[in-house]
Structure 1
Amino acid sequence: MAKNKTTEREADISEFINSFVDNEQKKTDSYELIKLMSKWSGCDPKMWGPTIIGFGSYHYKYASGHEGDAPLIAFSPRKAQFSLYVHSNTEKSKLLLENLGKCKISKACIYVKKLADIDISVLEKLSLETFAYLEEHNECSCRH
């Protein structure tokens, strides 16, 4: 069975942001996301893999037998745009996404160029919906 590449690791988040992010607005937005996601999750930020900042964790197991741990919510300040990992496949999430703002959506994440492009209150609701979904469907180690 393949080993998961995205695992929680010890690393200085400020050092990561200051060395990886080359745009002052993106740095400011990164620190704002840390503040918001810490508040919403009740968890401290941790590095997951080399470029993802995650909050809390849960254990998943697929029908195939593959299992591992992942952050409850997370983001990565990628070069072109932020990758926001706050999406759950629920009807409520689908409705919320319609009001999020300027973004692109894939199966696993939401892409935004800057926080000013989206409605932060909708992002909070999406995060809360994700927590509810994960707590119902997985073993959560945070937010108990």
Structure 2
Amino acid sequence: MQNKTTFTGLSVDDFIESAVKNPQKKADSYTLIRLFKDLTGKDPKMYGPSIIGFGTYHYRYASGHSGEAPVLGFSPRASAISLYIYSDTDKSRELLQSLGKFEMGKACIYVKKLSDIDLEVLKALCKETIRFLYEQYSSDVVLGQG
């Protein structure tokens, strides 16, 4: 089974300019790129057809399934921006209480636009995920590096 989060080598800017039609979502995408690059110290890369990721970590589940995924990532989808920044820790659950207007999926946070959420809380959630992934898995991002 092929992972959806496989690095593709496609251009992030080309993807945003061609696939993101909503001007606010496009502006939010560039804001997230600056924010995530600053937090990770890593340049954005395309994973699969629509995920913009920063840094990598290697995971292995109890089932034996393993792979590589971005440490932080997002996808500017038509209905919402999917944020792949969440780790299920006590601190993350606490931070979610003050994030703002969002919906929670199994492994991601959906926001309509960045102005619906508190960017300082988003940064704190990202930092918690960087810390968690570095401690639990093999990650190329160290908290405080970026």
What's the TM-score bracket when you normalise by the shorter of the two chains?
over 0.9
TM-score (norm 1): 0.96
| Paired position in structure 1 for 2:50 | 51
- Mapping 1:50-129, distance limit 5 Å: 50-129=49-128
- Give aligned pairs, total: 143
Question: Identity of counterpart residues, as a percentage?
Answer: 53
Deviations 1:64-90 (A, max 9, x none): 111000000100000011000010000
CA distance in 1, matches of 2:66, 2:109: 23
Contact 2:130 2:141 in 1 (8 A): no
CA distance in 2, matches of 1:95, 1:65: 31
Contact 2:134 2:141 in 1 (8 A): no
Range 133-142 or range 78-87, more displaced: 133-142
Structure 2: gaps spanning 5 or more residues? none
AA matched with 1:92: K
CA distance in 2, matches of 1:56, 1:82: 19
CA distance in 1, matches of 2:51, 2:11: 12
Q: SS of the residue aligned with 2:14?
A: helix
CA distance in 2, matches of 1:86, 1:138: 15
CA distance in 2, matches of 1:5, 1:91: 28
| Paired position in structure 2 for 1:137 | 136
Contact 2:42 2:54 in 1 (8 A): yes
CA distance in 1, matches of 2:102, 2:63: 32
Contact 2:5 2:70 in 1 (8 A): no
Cα RMSD after superposing both structures: 1.0
Q: Which runs of 4+ in 1 moved over 6 A?
A: none
